[in-house]
Structure 1
Amino acid sequence: MKKRYISIIKTSIIISLFIIPLLVIYINSGYNLAYAAYVEGNCVAYYKDKEKVTDIYNKILDKNKDIKINEGIKFERIITKTSSLNNYDSIVSNIKASLDKEVDCLVLKIDEINLGILRDKDRCEDLFNLVKEHYIRVNDLNKEDIINTSINNNIYYIPYRAYESQIKTPEEIYKVIKELDSSKENPIMSVNIIGIKNDIEDIKEDTTIKSTDEYYMGEFKVQELGKEGKRRIEKQVNITNAKVISETMIKEEIIEAPKNKVILKGTKNPIGTTISFLERPSRGAITSNFGARWNNESHHGVDIAGNTGDPIGAALDGVVNKVGYDSIYGKYIKIDHGNGIETLYGHCSSIIKGKGDTIKKGDVIGRVGSTGRSTGPHIHFELRLNGKAENPMTYMK
């Protein structure tokens, strides 16, 4: 026992007298105690802090989860020159290089376009899901409402051998697709989505027109204001990328019923009053007035100048009761407005409406021309009450 203590004391004396001074000499001479780090059998770093190198290694693996590891990271205690110690960037680069092995993988081809190298079909499916999710968001759909999604393109998986550094992640390929799509008229990938969409829609109010002799023809009064309603609809949508191909209504719920607008339409005969109830058929100048002419003839209407092809608007609501041609009026159209009131539009180059058509004030019924007895393009416009010509200028706005 006494001998053992003597031996320990001798060893301590040797360490104190020889080894510790040598270490001090090394350190002071530009040498350091450090660790040599090995990844997959390759030395990747000389560094003092083993935990720091391990942390760098683990972070690289976290970002490259598909890398297959055989040996992992190992350390060996060494003494090395201070100048030989690695910095952070060189450690990262060396670890990545050591992990960069040639492996089996796939080239993904969509139709005629090579999108890049991916690890396997599972990673390709991850890419497809990223693209599908993009179009689900674009179309404002909820994931839980999706019935089916599919890729319409031709998909090719081409076996390949590549280094780990050449293999792209689904996110990297997705970014490339988005950049390419931004410069193309048609997206690279055609995604079909079938899902359920819920919307709130406005219901347009109807207009109810009631006839009344309280007002003159051409006069309208709003009796009741209308109001739009609202409905909740559920429909199945069939979408390709951002284009709706078809919609099928599944369910409808009225949230608020619309209220009809009620308009009173005057029917009282305005002839003989000062009411301006006629819309001017054209904005042209009056070139010939109503009444007697220089050759003792009577002009039964007014002539309004215009260019061939200019639109002719109806002066009042009514129904077309005659479309024809004669040597005086040329091509003409006549409208019955009720209460024995009619208007006629002559010398037309063409007639747009037909007999029996319902006309609203301002509707285009024909085009200005110079047919019949005419010296140039214009409209001959007449107003008649029970067949008797009246001066339309008295009632035109």
Structure 2
Amino acid sequence: MDTRKTRKIKFIICIILLLNSINLVVNADTNRIYEAYVDNRLIGYIDNKNTFRNTYKDTKEELNNRIGSKCIRDKKIKFKSTDLKSEISTKEEIESNIIKTIDTEVNAQTININDKNCGTLFNKNEVNEAIKKFTNEYLKNMNINIDNVLEVSIDSDFKTSEEKVPISQINNINQIVDNINNDPNIKDNINIDVKVKEDKEVSIEPQTTIKQDESMYVGESKIIEDGESGSKHVLSEVIYHNGNKLKENIISEDILKNAKDRVECIGTKSPIGSNTAFLQAPTRGGWITSKFGARWGRNHNGIDIAGNTGDPVTAAYDGTIQEAGQVSGYGNMIKIKHQDNIETIYGHLSSIKVKKGQKVKKGDIIGCVGSTGRSTGPHLHFELRSKGKPINPEGYILNN
């Protein structure tokens, strides 16, 4: 064989063997796990040496930049292969463990809020950055757009002191903010006032116009025109104290759409004397055991309706509670004032469910049947009065 050809073949074989060797080395490094050490201190478990070296370099440079001088020198890095089934350390874990190996002491700023230590940073610029980050997170949690913030005021017992500490004990800005947020004894004693510009669209609720109708009885009503909401654009300055709205100063309002009034007709015709039933029966069922008029030598000003103790008593008509309490003879008594100087009275109740001044609707439960006061057994004494004069209520009670 030609000598030149032989040499050429040998050269090609050498190249192939070299490439295979490189491939084996690369694959070996990729598939293996190493223990990474700095100055003989275990930093973490890695699968790429170059990545670790770069992380060490970046961490060192970042610390030098924070300090403002190149006081942190390179330390000896070494690796040991391991057969342990260990999880690869995260970048954050490696960075944290690298910093723990640096015992160089520097002048730093220790932060105290309300006599609680929040951690240490390199300088006052970092302290201000931590306050800014805490404030921005607070505003974000309140769903406040930072661009709309006019003023922020933080009131707390905030102090910083200069101390000489090892770099390994110095926190980063995120850690300081977490320390404040995660300690209720610190966070709950910080008062924050925020003045913010708010630009919003607000609904305008329709007004109700009341019209009187002589063709309808007192207490009757009907809607003759539905209302419609409007809207307006409102620009205001709002002050929040610890997340709660404290004050709002409206700067301007622009109507976008006018509201349309709701029109309601109410009756003015008195039902008294018209033989028109307008009262709801004040109890369920029951029969009249004593009628209106003369009884036992005196006038019985109402009717007695049979019932069991505890049965519900309901308002016979819309109105306002005028009296609710003990009255001689009536026992537990409720008086409701209605329109057109009409009143209804409910006596001998076992209990009262309403208070003086309370508004009630027809059918609302106001008390329970009983036998209090001058009574011979459980029943409801029910009266109807017009302008103070007792009237027989029987013809005015609707049939159930």
TM-score (norm 2): 0.64
2:158 equivalent in structure 1: 155
* 1:1-397 alignment, distance < 5 Å: 55-61=54-60, 63-64=62-63, 65-67=65-67, 68-70=69-71, 96=99, 100-181=103-184, 187-270=188-271, 277-281=278-282, 285=286, 288=289, 290=291, 300-304=301-305, 305=307, 313=315, 315-317=317-319, 329=330, 333=335, 335=337, 337-338=339-340, 342-347=343-348, 352-353=355-356, 361=362, 372-375=373-376, 379-384=380-385, 387=389, 388-391=391-394, 394-395=397-398
Residue 66 of structure 2 aligns to a residue in which SS?
A: coil
Equivalent pair of 2:113/2:186 in contact (CA under 8 Å): no
RMSD: 4.9
Equivalent pair of 2:304/2:379 in contact (CA under 8 Å): yes
Residue 134 of structure 2 aligns to a residue in which SS?
A: helix
Equivalent pair of 1:319/1:336 in contact (CA under 8 Å): no
Which of these two proteins has the greater Rg computed from alpha carbons? 1
CA distance in 1, matches of 2:281, 2:143: 49
Deviates further, 122-131 or 344-353: 344-353
Identity of aligned residues (%): 28
CA distance in 1, matches of 2:51, 2:116: 43
Deviates further, 196-205 or 155-164: 196-205
- Residue by residue over 1:188-237, the C-alpha shift from the partner in whole angstroms, topping out at 9 and shown as x without a partner, is 53322222223333222222232213334443222111222223323322
Distance 1:105 1:217, change over 3 A: same
Equivalent pair of 2:278/2:396 in contact (CA under 8 Å): no
CA distance in 2, matches of 1:150, 1:117: 23
Residue 210 of structure 1 aligns to a residue in which SS?
A: strand
Unaligned runs of 5+ in 2: 1-38, 42-47, 82-87
Equivalent pair of 1:150/1:192 in contact (CA under 8 Å): yes
Equivalent pair of 2:321/2:356 in contact (CA under 8 Å): no
Deviates further, 282-291 or 229-238: 282-291
Unaligned runs of 5+ in 1: 1-41, 76-83
Equivalent pair of 1:292/1:298 in contact (CA under 8 Å): yes
Residue 105 of structure 1 aligns to a residue in which SS?
A: strand
Equivalent pair of 1:193/1:240 in contact (CA under 8 Å): yes
Equivalent pair of 2:142/2:243 in contact (CA under 8 Å): yes
Distance 1:236 1:363, change over 3 A: farther
CA distance in 1, matches of 2:292, 2:141: 68
After TM superposition, give the deviation of residue 105 of structure 1 in Å. Answer: 0.9
Equivalent pair of 1:332/1:347 in contact (CA under 8 Å): no
CA distance in 1, matches of 2:198, 2:245: 12
Distance 1:367 1:266, change over 3 A: same
Distance 1:373 1:107, change over 3 A: same
TM-score (norm 1): 0.65
CA distance in 2, matches of 1:103, 1:128: 22
Residue 227 of structure 1 aligns to a residue in which SS?
A: coil
CA distance in 1, matches of 2:96, 2:126: 25
After TM superposition, give the deviation of residue 171 of structure 1 in Å. Answer: 0.8
Equivalent pair of 1:286/1:302 in contact (CA under 8 Å): no
Distance 1:287 1:153, change over 3 A: farther
Residue 191 of structure 1 aligns to a residue in which SS?
A: strand
